[in-house]
Amino acid sequence: MNCCAAKNVQINFFIPQGYGPAGEYAWMLEQCGLTAPQVTQQILDAVL
């Protein structure tokens, strides 16, 4: 995943449906220009 906040995703990688603090997750989405479904799909792709 080429995302400016990929490290944050990895840190919270095994936290289901939480993705860490809501504020940090919202900031990550804004910085990456992604929607929640896109991020979720990328995480699922990485797991599968």
Residue pair 46/38 in contact by the 8 Å Cβ criterion: no
9 contacts 28 by C-beta, under 8 angstroms: yes
Tell me how many domains the chain contains: 1
Our CA angle for 9, 15, 16, nearest 5°, is 110
Whole-model pTM: value is 0.27
Each residue's pLDDT tens digit, 31-44:
666 666 777 777 77
Residue 35 structural domain: 6-11+18-47
Q: What is the pLDDT of residue 14?
A: 46
CA proximity to 43, closest of 5, 14, 4: 14
Tens digits of residue pLDDT in 1-48: 444 544 555 554 444 455 555 556 666 666 666 666 777 777 778 777
Examine residue 1 and state whether it is found in any structural domain, yes or no: no
- The pair of structure tokens assigned to 32 is 């990456």
